Structure 1
Amino acid sequence: MGPVAFDASLWDEPTTGIGLYARCLASGLENRGVRLLRLGARVSGEDPRGRMGRTTYVLGRLPQALRDSEAPLYHALGNFNLPLVRIPGKAYVVTVHDLIPLRMPETVSRAYRWQFRLWLARSVQVADRIVCVSACTRDDLLARHPEVAHKVTVVHNGVDHVDRYALDATTEDFLRSLSLPQRFVLYAGSLDVRKNVSLVLDALERLKARGRPATLVLAGQSWFGSGSVESRVGRMRAEGHDIRPLGYQSEPVFYELMRRATVFAFPSKYEGFGLPPLEAMRLGTPAIVSTTGATPEVCGEAALAVRPDDAEGLAEAMDRLLRSDTERRRWAEEGRRHAARFTWARCAEGTLEAYESALRR
């Protein structure tokens, strides 16, 4: 196989789920001897886009960059961002992480929803192979585009990237400054409506009403529709709840918080994969997830699960884990064992098979 033209549009940006996927998959592919040409990063790689927006780059400049490239294949990583036209002699692969803008339209802006719908429809038509990160995402895609079933393969994400972050002095000093209690609940991720942080707050109120208050740490950035959650957090803190909103954190802090948390609560209403609870499980922290989306597929029976509207069930699960060392050890061991199956080496292997299949078309 020749070099692969690789979507690097999020390479130089603050880390998001897709950006993490791009970096970890790239590392896994390069470890298998694949040479990547990183196209469309803001300042790095083989064809940096500079001040040009990501959409403008893909639609305007990327087609010519592919024509000029020696790479026989281009891999788009962001759900739908393939060029609109086929380039002779070039195979196309696209990774679809989720169809949340179509399944839960209220969680994104109207403009983005239309962009997603139209560009996804075109991308799956021009793609030679479509990589879905879960069977759940595959089923969502085929419910809308059954005609592309022959192109789709499922390749799960890895989670072993968390192993590379060792505790350093800067992270230690920062965490010490927070004066966190010995036991706390962590939610890590964006604060948008889909993530269902409000259910965690409901559970927190129930625990306090029973005389068993818990500390909640929120590590995540604001997102579309997060205003109501942030307002409620402010009100609850004024009422005496111990809630620590930390905002976006660097990877060393983010993963050390996961490692130190007593419980990781992630009752998201819908995930195309659900990486954060799997990260917590890899780090030995018991996770509580919801019964919807891809989290049952990804976390299996190694995480406690509650319905996304079951505040009482979430409160009970949080309380059990906060109060029982035996329960925590049991779920921590199950979580570590289960998460060990998800590696970026396996993800790279499955992706390479998709490349080879696309090149044979």
Structure 2
Amino acid sequence: MKILYEPETFSIQDVGGVSRYFYELIDHAGPEVSCELPVVLSNNIYLKDRKHTRHLGLLPGVQVPGLWRMMQYANRRASCKAIQRQKFDVFHPTVNDQTWFLDLLGKKPFVITIHDMIPALFSEYYQRPGPELGTLASRAARIITVSENTRADVLRLLPVPPDHVTVVHHGHAVRHYPYEEAVAAPDDYLLFIGSRRAYKNFGCLVKAFGMLHVEYPGLHLLCAGGGPFTEEEMAQLREAGIAGHAHQLGYLSDGQLHHLYHRARAFVFPSLYEGFGFPILEAFGQHCPVVLSNASCFPEIAQDAALYFAPHDADELHEQLDRVLYDRALRQILVRRGQDRVRDFTWNRTVADTHRVYEEAREDSPMVAC
């Protein structure tokens, strides 16, 4: 079986969960499945090894406005040629906001992965998704969602048959990085990863940490990714009395992040909604206790390996953080449960389940397989 991946996410992402997901699908495909990624230009870090492509970088590390558009143009031309050759069994686009390839596919089946329904559920913060997702979902041979929670949202919000929507969890690989990649950090800290905007619920964490700081004055809050603190965030930090103990670390490599997880007192994920929650598995893999909001897919992914709090209740978050900081035995239990839970998520399993979806899509196709 041959799968053709459209490379849009590798044009627009230098690093990120979506491009990482598609890279792992290709990297773990195995000999029974042939994968083609017609990428010509990309600065994506997961493709740097060029194991599966012969692409070129385009001014990597240089901030040039609109650079991604040049990569998009070159990669889309290559994708058009690959589709027109028709030498594939199943097509899998890497983004869900474009339909340009539909007329080129003919009767070839395609599969889409829906990672979350955030724009539809949080339209007060995001532009509502255009008609492209609905068009793709209605015409796709199969739809993959990354959690049961996301599947339920898809079935509630999109007109698709339930038997066409399959849950395939992400995988995780515990990797070890040289200590030289560790970033300078305080000895005692909580860790927050990623964007802090809107539904990420960062304000709740600020309030809880402000209460916690009274009891643990040497504790710090490290925020990796998400850009510098905004003026509004700085005002929140000052009001909570923790402006001097909250630090924004900017972009970090995977190795630096893994060392931060390993040394953190706890990883805190207060988000109101996630499609899956990659950082949960990363924290489990690095023996880091995890505290999560009791929302969306989090209980599904972490199960009993985390502590939970009501997502808008800063007092309850403060209590759970106090528990994990004070109770060494509890931390050890959470670490052990996290190690057990992360074993349920492997890229080999993800790929095997995805290949079964591809087979279903191919069997439904009226075309003879290549």
Quick check: 2:213–2:242 contact (8 Å CA) kept in 1? no
Matched, 1:180 2:179: no
- In 2: Cα distance, 1:127 partner to 1:340 partner: 31
The structure-2 alpha-carbon separation of the partners of 1:257 and 1:52, relative to structure 1 and needing over 3 Å to count, comes to: closer
Quick check: 1:102–1:117 contact (8 Å CA) kept in 2? no
- In 1: Cα distance, 2:224 partner to 2:316 partner: 23
Matched, 1:75 2:92: yes
Give the drift of 1:278: 2.1
- In 2: Cα distance, 1:350 partner to 1:230 partner: 42
Structure 1 equivalent of residue 62 of structure 2? none
Q: Which runs of at least 4 in structure 1 moved beyond 6 Å after TM superposition?
A: 46-50, 54-61
Question: What does 1:86-125 correspond to in 2, within 5 Å?
Answer: 86=103, 87-108=105-126, 110=127, 113=128, 116-125=129-138
Structure 2 equivalent of residue 6 of structure 1? 5
The range that moved more, 248-257 or 189-198, is 189-198
Give the drift of 1:42: 3.0
The range that moved more, 116-125 or 3-12, is 3-12
Other structure's SS at 1:301 match: helix
The structure-2 alpha-carbon separation of the partners of 1:192 and 1:55, relative to structure 1 and needing over 3 Å to count, comes to: farther
The range that moved more, 334-343 or 209-218, is 209-218
Give the drift of 1:298: 0.8
- In 1: Cα distance, 2:8 partner to 2:310 partner: 36
Structure 2 equivalent of residue 313 of structure 1? 316
Structure 2 equivalent of residue 23 of structure 1? 23
Structure 1 equivalent of residue 177 of structure 2? 166
The structure-2 alpha-carbon separation of the partners of 1:46 and 1:67, relative to structure 1 and needing over 3 Å to count, comes to: farther
Question: What does 1:321-340 correspond to in 2, within 5 Å?
Answer: 321-340=324-343
The structure-2 alpha-carbon separation of the partners of 1:180 and 1:140, relative to structure 1 and needing over 3 Å to count, comes to: same
Other structure's SS at 1:124 match: helix
Tell me the number of residue pairs that the alignment of Structure 1 and Structure 2 aligns: 344
The structure-2 alpha-carbon separation of the partners of 1:75 and 1:229, relative to structure 1 and needing over 3 Å to count, comes to: farther
Give the drift of 1:186: 0.4
Amino acid at match of 1:313: E
Candidates 212, 215, 227, aligned match of 1:222: 227
Give the drift of 1:241: 3.8
The structure-2 alpha-carbon separation of the partners of 1:206 and 1:32, relative to structure 1 and needing over 3 Å to count, comes to: farther
The structure-2 alpha-carbon separation of the partners of 1:49 and 1:352, relative to structure 1 and needing over 3 Å to count, comes to: farther
Q: For 1:312-339, what per-residue CA distance to the aligned partner results, in whole angstroms no more than 9, with x for missing partners?
A: 1111111121222211101100111011
Matched, 1:129 2:146: no
Q: For 1:165-218, what per-residue CA distance to the aligned partner results, in whole angstroms no more than 9, with x for missing partners?
A: 42242x14xx2xx2411x310011122222111111111111124465521111
The structure-2 alpha-carbon separation of the partners of 1:330 and 1:238, relative to structure 1 and needing over 3 Å to count, comes to: closer
Question: What does 1:118-157 correspond to in 2, within 5 Å?
Answer: 118-157=131-170
Give the drift of 1:159: 1.7
The structure-2 alpha-carbon separation of the partners of 1:329 and 1:79, relative to structure 1 and needing over 3 Å to count, comes to: farther
Give the drift of 1:126: 2.0
Q: For 1:215-242, what per-residue CA distance to the aligned partner results, in whole angstroms no more than 9, with x for missing partners?
A: 111111239xx73664346636986541
The structure-2 alpha-carbon separation of the partners of 1:140 and 1:60, relative to structure 1 and needing over 3 Å to count, comes to: farther
The range that moved more, 195-204 or 39-48, is 39-48
Matched, 1:357 2:364: no
Other structure's SS at 2:92 match: strand
Amino acid at match of 1:68: R
Q: For 1:50-100, what per-residue CA distance to the aligned partner results, in whole angstroms no more than 9, with x for missing partners?
A: 867377679877445311241222112334445452412422011000010
Other structure's SS at 2:334 match: helix
Amino acid at match of 2:220: T
Q: Normalising to structure 2: TM-score of the pair?
A: 0.84
Amino acid at match of 1:231: M
Give the drift of 1:303: 0.8
Other structure's SS at 1:106 match: coil
Unaligned stretches of 5+ residues in structure 1: none
Quick check: 1:92–1:129 contact (8 Å CA) kept in 2? yes
- In 1: Cα distance, 2:101 partner to 2:155 partner: 20
Amino acid at match of 1:262: R
Give the drift of 1:277: 1.6
- In 1: Cα distance, 2:91 partner to 2:118 partner: 24
Amino acid at match of 1:66: I
Structure 2 equivalent of residue 302 of structure 1? 305
Percent of counterpart pairs with the same letter?
A: 27
The structure-2 alpha-carbon separation of the partners of 1:138 and 1:144, relative to structure 1 and needing over 3 Å to count, comes to: same
Quick check: 1:59–1:84 contact (8 Å CA) kept in 2? no
Matched, 1:198 2:196: no
The structure-2 alpha-carbon separation of the partners of 1:167 and 1:300, relative to structure 1 and needing over 3 Å to count, comes to: same
Unaligned stretches of 5+ residues in structure 2: 43-49, 59-66, 365-370
